[in-house]
Structure 1
Amino acid sequence: MVASSLRSFIKDVRNAKTLADERSVISKQSAKIRTKLRDDRLSNEKKRANIQKLLYLYILGEKTHFGQVGSINLIASDEFVDKRLGYLATILLLDESQDLLTLLTNMLNNDLQHPNKYIVALALNTLGCLSSTELARDLYPDVENILKNSSDPFLLKKALQCNAKLIQKDRSLLEIFPVSLIGSKLIDSANISTHGVLLGVCKVLQAILITFDKSFNKTGEDTATEQEDDDEYQEDVGILKTIAEYIQPLSYRLSTLNSKSLEPSYDVQGIQDPFLQCELLVTLKWFFKIGNNLGLEEITRHNTAFNDRLTQIATNTSALKNPGNAILYEVTRTIFELNLTQPLRVLGVNILANFLAPTKNANNTSNNVKYVGLNTLVSVVPEEPKAVQRYRKFISQCLYDYDISIKFRALELTFEIMDEENFVELTTELMNFLEKISKSHYHYATSYIDIDDSKDLILYTVDHLLEKFEVFTNSDDKTKLDALMNTLKMAGSFVDLDRTNEFIVAINNIDDLKYKIALLSKELAELLDEKKNADAESSACLELTIVWCIGEYVDLIIANPNTNKNIVNEKSIIQFLSKLNNTYRLSKESKMVHYILTAALKLSTKINDKALVEELRQIIVSHSKDTNLMTQTKSIHYELLFNQPDNIKKQFLQAMPKFEKKTTSRGLETHPIAKEPKKQNDLLLDLLNDTEFGKIATKEPTIAQPEKPNDVLADLLGSSTSKPKEKLQIPSESVLIHKGTEIEVYEKTIDISSGLAHLELYVKALNNKLTDIQPLCAVPKTQKITLSQLQPSNSMNAGETVKQSLRINGSGKLKLRIKMSFCVGDASAVVSEQFDYKLDQTI
């Protein structure tokens, strides 16, 4: 049954028990609306009913293009109720790029001259929202006519708002805009200069100033002298000097609004007209931003008075209610965007800090106010770091807020204010935060806290802590190492093995070897103590780090006089490696196996007991027939090296040097980039060039090389030179699934089984260099897709290829909708190519 009214239609949609039922109701109703709107004999009342249903479909995200002409036809009616709904539907269903807008020209022209001011207001609203460049030029005279001849504040407010939109759409309208009208009629007249009219004046002035700012910035500093001789530039400066006369009356009006004399009609929670105060602040900010950059005396002479005005507003405005906070926020934005004097910047920081401070009988502890305060403080730290650091207490309190967005902003601000002086204090605070959030139960938890949110917070904290460890190289090594180990123990279960390399690099780069060995001895004793760890939950990240430390420092740990020899000894360590090897032998996570093999090989040069050495050899040999080709290859190579004399093995297996790292941050992710080794025939390079551990192990060791390294390598691996890295090639068994103007995309099926599919996409650049490649992929609702990072990078030259791995879990037919976004050459504009691909298999 198809609903006959909007109320029953909404009720039918909400009562649908399945998605198929809901789709059926919507499809039938859409078909009925489409049929009805084609009927020319349909009454306006029924047209309105169908347009109302159409707007509900728009809210649901359904296709509504078939109702665009019907909405425009409704505007042609003489009845206000028809025009109101027709204009509303037109604003929602059309946009500025559609050709149908030409049908509106005559209707808008007629309604802008209508005797009913409310119909004129509807036309002005629609013109402001849906104004193309052509429409703006055609109908601007009608809007200007209203500004010149009307004395109705209601119409003037609407016309000014519309005029601001038209100026932003087509700056050439400034040549005919009567600028003097703003002062002579709108600001100076007490009867006309109402709240709404002043809001409209502010919007027009902002539109003019923003247009000028874009124009002046395009010219650039180098061409400013040439541009002064240009007629357009001179005309813009002339208009700017003219409207600069309005700075003083607008500033006076702002001061009046901020005084204690209140008008009940515009009082909002004890604040006089906060909306107008904010708009006046924004308008004056644009005046001084442009005027100070150009050095116009007509504007710069008001600088001192404006600074005093900002101080007055910040002092007189109450922060107990949200309207006051909105005004104070605009004051702060104005201070920092104009880069005013240092006392004013400190005042701005104090205002933002008060947004975070919990006070009695105040509403400034709401999440919105806290978020605004934290978000703005992040941007002002570079200008006033010391002033922001004074409020570390308030920032730390926000780490334990219930709202996940507040936590993230507080974390971001904490890392922004971290420096050499407060490094220890803030690191301790972050350790306390990690300890509380990494537990399965929260003493401050609410019903909506999700473990996924906690994981995101933990990973963000871990990534940025590791980054700060690299930045503050002169900080206390003991604090760094304690923080690293505590982070591994508290958050190791949340951190994937790929991030473990960052922990290993940080541990290796710590210079205090004595404290490092003492702490590792203690941690290894706790890990090997079976009684303590009987019920403990294992952390792969911690185990991987300990395995690497065993390979590097086991001889120093055992030789340490404070080491508990009953727990930490050669036998227990080898048993630990053997146990881990058995645990991860059949696991898909081969990274742990690679580290175990390397640790066993290094350990063989530091142990003299032949029986224990044989156990190490058995760990390596156990993977000589591994199903993973990379693991099998490493096992065979290591076995060859294992059987060599100690003097040869030690040349390969000396301690790792200090790693040099460059880190870059983007958004909430940190991407460490290891420094590439020099191109040379390094024996260690050829041995360990196939895993993540190989990346760490292939740094340039400061050790004496054998006289003929190539001969030794030839004996071991049958090769005397390392092959150059080959470019990524498209497999012969792959299928071409898309050929566009800039790229070709190939698909290779790795494995498809019940509930799981593993695919690979190969993207080839055809004619140009592509940068910032961003792949997006959608699958049916019954499936979930996981995308890996692009390999080898997210950019490529013409003729090169990158690879994207896809894992799809779920059930149903395999269907993909793929969108590849990228920049062509050195252009900054983003280009996209989208296509669909359907496989024959199901999962």
Structure 2
Amino acid sequence: MAKLRELILSVRSAKTAAEEREIITKECAIIRSSMSTNNLTIRHRNVAKLIYIQLLGYPTQYGQMECLALISSHHYSDKRIGYLALMLLLDETQEVLTLVTNHLHNDLLSQNQFIVGLSLTTISNIGSEGIAQDVASEVEKLMSSPINYIKKKSAAAAVRIIRKCPNYSDIYIQKTKALLVERQLSLQLSGVTLAIELCKYLPNAIGEFRKLIPNLLNNLKLLVHSSFIPDYDVSGITHPFLQTKLIQLLGILGHNDKANSSLMYSILNFVIANTSNSRNVGNGILFETVKTILSIEADETLLHNAVDVLIKLLNGKDSNFKYVSLEYLQYLLEFAGTSIQKHKSIIVECLKDRDHAIRKRALDLVYSLVNESNVVGLVKELLSFLQLSDIQFKQDVVIKICWLIDKFGPDIKWKFDSMLETITLAGDIVPEEVTWNFILLIQQNIELQSYAVHKLFEALKKDVSKLALNKVAVWAIGEYGDLLAIQEGQFIGIQPSIMLDLIISIDGSGFSDSTIKGEILIALTKLSTRIPSQFNQRIQEFINIYKTNIDVELQQRAIEFSQFFSYDDLRLDAVNRMPIPENLHQETHSNQISQSTIPTQSLPTVTSESLKETSLISHPQPNQSFKKDEPKKDEPKKDDLLDILGISSSPVKSSPSSSSSQQQQSTNLLDLLTGPLPTNLTPNTTINIPNTTTPSTQSSTNLNNLLQPTSSTLPIQQTDLSLQQQQPVNNTNNLIIQALNNNGVIVKFNIKSEEPKYLVHATFTNTSNSQLTNFSMKVAVPKWIELQLMSPTDSILQPLSTDQVTQDLILTRMVTDKPVVVKIKVLFMRDGVQAEENANVYICN
């Protein structure tokens, strides 16, 4: 039988993989055939070969029992190869390990320290939960051994036991404290490692180890200041592994403890000052020190020193150190933002690094550094970075730049110029939300609109290849074309013919998709009411081209717009300037839009005479043309109901003419549904819409269902056109309200009033022939109402059942002058199909 050396030589001499597999197959067959013998020499040699074959990646499960046979031997040499093979060929999930537990017990009690060491090493590497439970007490006793070799191995085994069985952690606390005060560095390392594990799994141990903080600080200082020790020196630093572990343990012990943290300040500053960053070993210690500073209650001096360390590493050439430094600076920004701001130029330089990961990490840090005082400079740097950034995260850069501009911009004009430059540089990868927010910026600031439309016109003339710029510019020219014809500061008034030439040139440039083409049609239709009528013929000719377009949507839009030109009054009203959105929340911008309402006014039409005298026309000031309504001092504030209800409790005062106009609008709406509206309606008059089977009335009923899915009546109020389920009722002690009656489900509320509480007993009726399963009701209330919702009595509604299922809820009105109103959502399964019904319920005023 060949020896291990001969097997290695034969494998190395194989010229192909097939030849190697042939050698291994023959050798494995020889090993299996010789397992029946009890010759220890052959068994020892076979297990050694199996270890080598395992390292080559071939299966060796058949040799596991040979390992157990060697472990049961009384000779150290056999046990050594047996335990080594056991750790390499098996793992903690193998059932064979249950047969090893007895041998481990016996070897832990051996008089030979090396055999004890073998057993402890095996426990440290592949000890399972069962083995950990069986040997926990023996390992704890061995930690008191007078032999340092066994102490060190026992500490390593204890770490494994704590990880597998945290319940046994408390028995190792006192022995760990003894290891922490040992003079030998290897024992200190074992003790510190064990202490860190105990702190992770046993929080009570932190208080015990805090008593030893002075000893730990003294040990750390001695290591940093010690002279050359050959056995523990690494690149001129004494035992860097122990130093790192000690600093890590100090961070755990000083967390959320101001008193003990203050004891560490001088030592941590000493470590920073006396550790060289010229080698990886020193940098590892410095990084661990910074991590500990972030964990403890550090003072300003310590935080400032930590920032200096990271900036020094950031100036180096190693990419790994740069990346980690940027990551720690991100964490330090919350505690030492002022110190980091002083080095922002170094951080900005990292945006030009060759490494993609470093650029991305630096970009995240720069975002966090921006504030009102440095936004102009940093946004300029970010725009420069945008031109060189990788395409995979260019879109994210655009979103964040625009967010910073909107949040920290010094004035509206700078915000507009910066966002215009951003979308110009970004090209075709500008997200839709950025374009939308840019349009909102122009809409919300009346004094900016004239300047904005001139700037966008000039930018569009220079480059029509940017889709986002095309979209915003075309929209602005169509919306504010009358302002574009008037001189604005350094910008001269633009002739309408030039506006039309530019817009029409985009259509034929090849840089317009279907969305841009649709925007062009809208813009030209709007321009027809903002420029002299002599240009309408040209606009109509262009729109007529799209009547035969292959795109159905564009074709339909062109046909509809062309009809506008036959009804001048309708066209003037339909393409009036867009109102400013209210109560709009945007994910990419932190500031919400102002809730003050700007009254809509008719737009002036630019005439031919006014174009000839543009220099004599003064643009109306915002405070003259758009005066905001200020509430009176004695006027009550508006109530903000839930967005889901979509109502307002504040009445709107209207003149007789406006009332008649609103009534006329109501009449037009009802003409679409059922016919003309009677003229003698009171504010709360209810119109009953009959349900017939004729085609015309059936379609009307369907349209009514779209608007009001849970009721067959349509209340019309002068102050609010919103559809309601039922009219508010007065405050009485006992009320019964039909909250919902639709799709075979009837919900009734039996209300008992006990101001400020309202006890509601809800009953559910199923009028259909199908069983309703998974039945539940959800309730939403405004912020001034407190809700207590009980569980329903059952989740199944039987067919044709009346008041079979009930549910109770308690409403508490926190503000007495607010209405009691709720929204309900009823969910159920009918014939395997999920369905839901919604209703708004007004209980009292």
Residue type of the alignment partner of 1:259: H
- Counterpart residue number, 1:550: 477
Q: CA deviation at 1:354?
A: 2.0
Residue 415 of structure 1 corresponds to: 367
User: Is the 1:497–1:591 contact (alpha carbons within 8 Å) kept by the matching residues of 2?
Assistant: no
Kindly state the Cα deviation for residue 616 of structure 1 after the two structures are TM-superposed: 4.6
- With over 3 angstroms needed to count, the CA separation of the structure-2 counterparts of 1:518 and 1:6, relative to structure 1, is farther
TM-score by length of 2: 0.61
Q: Which residue of 1 aligns with 2:544?
A: 618
- SS in structure 1 at match of 2:580: coil
CA contact (8 A) 1:594 1:631 kept: yes
Aligned partner of 2:632 in structure 1 is none
Q: Which stretch of structure 1 is more off in the superposition, 281-290 or 121-130?
A: 121-130
- Whether 1:490 and 2:490 are equivalent positions in the alignment is no
Task: State the 1:621 CA deviation.
Answer: 3.0
Partner of 2:174: 180
Distance in 2 between residues matched to 1:567 and 1:129, nearest whole Å: 83
- Once the 2 structures are TM-superposed, how far is the Cα of residue 572 of structure 1 from its aligned partner? 0.8
Q: Is residue 313 from structure 1 mapped to residue 261 from structure 2 by the alignment?
A: no
- Residue matched to 1:283: 249
Equivalent-residue separation in structure 2 for 1:189 and 1:70 (angstroms): 42
Q: 1:799 to 1:202 in 2, by over 3 A?
A: farther
Q: What residue identity is the alignment partner of 1:255?
A: K
1:645 & 1:150 partners in 2: Cα distance?
A: 105
Deviation of 1:31 after TM superposition, in Å, equals: 10
Change (3 A) 1:136 1:431: same
Aligned equivalent of 1:88: 88
The TM-score with structure 1 as length reference comes to: 0.62
Q: Distance in 2 between matches of 1:601 and 1:280?
A: 75
CA contact (8 A) 1:767 1:799 kept: yes
SS of the residue 1:149 aligns to = coil
Match of 2:502 in 1: 573
The letter for the 2-side match of 1:525 is K
**Aligned twin of 1:732:** none
Between the aligned partners of 2:28 and 2:560, the Cα distance in structure 1 is 72
Partner secondary structure for residue 289 of structure 1: coil
Q: Which residue of 1 aligns with 2:295?
A: 337
Shift of 1:107: 4.8
- The CA deviation at 1:201 is 0.6
**Preserved CA contact (<8 Å) 2:108 2:116:** yes
The within-5 A match list for 1:615-764 is 615-618=541-544, 621-623=547-549, 626=551, 644-647=567-570, 649-651=572-574, 653-657=576-580, 662=585, 707=662, 708-709=664-665, 723=706
Structure 2 counterpart of 1:207, one-letter code = E
Amino acid of the structure 1 residue aligned with 2:580: P
Write out per-residue CA displacement over residues 738-783 of structure 1, whole angstroms, 9 at most, x where no aligned residue: xxxxxxxxxxxxxxxxxxxxxxxxxxx99999xxxxxxxxxxxxxx
- 1:158 is aligned to 153
Q: Is the 8 A contact 1:76 1:107 kept in 2?
A: no
2:334 matches 1:405:
no
Q: Quick one: structure 1 residues 72 and 167, their matched pair in 2 at CA, closer, same or farther if it must change by over 3 Å? A: farther
Letter matched to residue 253 of structure 1 = N
Pairwise CA distance, 1:72: 7.1
Give the equivalent residue in structure 1 for 2:233.
267
The residue aligned with 1:372 is 324
Question: What is aligned with 1:77?
Answer: 70
Please state how far the C-alpha of 1:524 moved relative to its aligned partner: 2.1
Rounded to whole Å, the distance in 2 between the matches of 1:242 and 1:164 is 18
Match of 1:139 in 2: 135
2:136, 2:161 within 8 Å by CA — same for their partners in 1? yes
CA shift in 2, pair 1:647/1:310, >3 Å: same
Q: Post-superposition shift, 1:492?
A: 1.4
1:805 aligned residue: none
Select which of 292, 308, 314 maps to 1:356. Answer: 314
* Residue aligned with 1:320, SS: coil
Q: Which amino acid in structure 2 is aligned with residue 373 of structure 1?
A: S
2:216 aligned with 1:250? yes
1:141-185 deviation digits (Å, cap 9, x = unpaired): 2322331225133x43332133123224333213433x333444x
Q: Which amino acid in 1 is paired with 2:361? A: R
The aligned counterpart of 1:840 is none
Cα deviation for residue 200 of structure 1 reads 1.2
- The percentage of aligned residue pairs carrying the same residue is 24
The alpha-carbon deviation at position 597 of structure 1 amounts to 4.2
Q: 1:36 to 1:388 in 2, by over 3 A?
A: farther
Distance change (3 Å), C-alpha of 1:415 and 1:81: same
Change (3 A) 1:263 1:25: closer
CA displacement, residues 660-686 of structure 1 (integer Å, 9 cap, x when unaligned):
66455xxxxx799999999xxx9xxxx
Does the C-alpha gap of structure 1 residues 593 and 521 become closer, same or farther in structure 2, counting only changes over 3 Å? closer
Judged with a 3 Å threshold, the aligned counterparts in structure 2 of structure 1 residues 333 and 571 are, in CA distance, closer, same or farther, namely same
User: In 2, distance between residues paired with 1:389 and 1:271?
Assistant: 33
How far apart are the structure 2 equivalents of 1:558 and 1:11?
Answer: 89
| Alignment partners' CA distance in 1, 2:227 and 2:284 | 20
C-alpha distance in 2 between matches for 1:245 and 1:457:
50
Match among 438, 443, 460 for residue 524 of structure 1: 460
Is the aligned partner of 1:458 residue 2:408?
A: no
- 2:346 counterpart of 1:394: yes
Q: How much does 1:287 deviate?
A: 1.7
> Aligned residue for 1:827?
none
Residues 244 and 656 (structure 1 numbering): CA distance in 2 closer, same or farther, change over 3 Å? Answer: same
Tell me the distance in 2 between the aligned counterparts of 1:601 and 1:554: 11
Report the residue type matching 2:175 in the other structure: L
CA distance in 2, matches of 1:505, 1:32: 79
Report what 1:41 is aligned to: 35
More displaced, 323-332 or 98-107? 98-107
TM superposition shift of 1:645:
3.3
Q: Distance in 2 between matches of 1:7 and 1:500?
A: 70
Distance 1:499 1:112 in 2: 69
Question: C-alpha offsets along residues 45-85 of structure 1, whole Å, 9 cap, x if unaligned?
Answer: 5666566555555xxxxxx9x76675575465343345324
Q: CA deviation at 1:657?
A: 1.8
Match of 2:377 among 415, 425, 429: 425
What is the RMSD of the two structures over their aligned residues, measured on CA atoms? 4.9
Mapped to 2, the partners of 1:496 and 1:32 lie a distance apart of 65
Decide whether the 8 Å contact of 2:67 with 2:86 is kept in 1.
yes
CA contact (8 A) 2:548 2:555 kept: no
The answer to whether the 8 Å contact 1:72/1:90 transfers is no
How far apart in 2 are the matches of 1:568 and 1:407?
47
Per-residue CA deviation, residues 196-240 of structure 1 (Å, 9 max, x unaligned), is: 221111111112222233xxxxxxxxxxxxxxxxxxxxxx4xx55
- Relative distance call for 1:370 and 1:160 in structure 2 (3 A) is same
- Letter of the 1:344 partner, please give it: L
CA distance in 1, matches of 2:704, 2:12: 74
Deviation at 1:410, TM superposition (A): 0.5
Task: Tell me the distance in 2 between the aligned counterparts of 1:634 and 1:7.
Answer: 83
Work out the CA distance in 2 between the residues paired with 1:159 and 1:640.
Answer: 92
SS of the counterpart of 1:569?
helix
Q: SS where residue 382 of structure 2 aligns? A: helix
1:312 Cα offset (Å): 1.8
Kept in 1, the 8 Å contact 2:51–2:89? The answer is yes
Q: Provide the residue aligned with 2:526 in structure 1.
A: 602
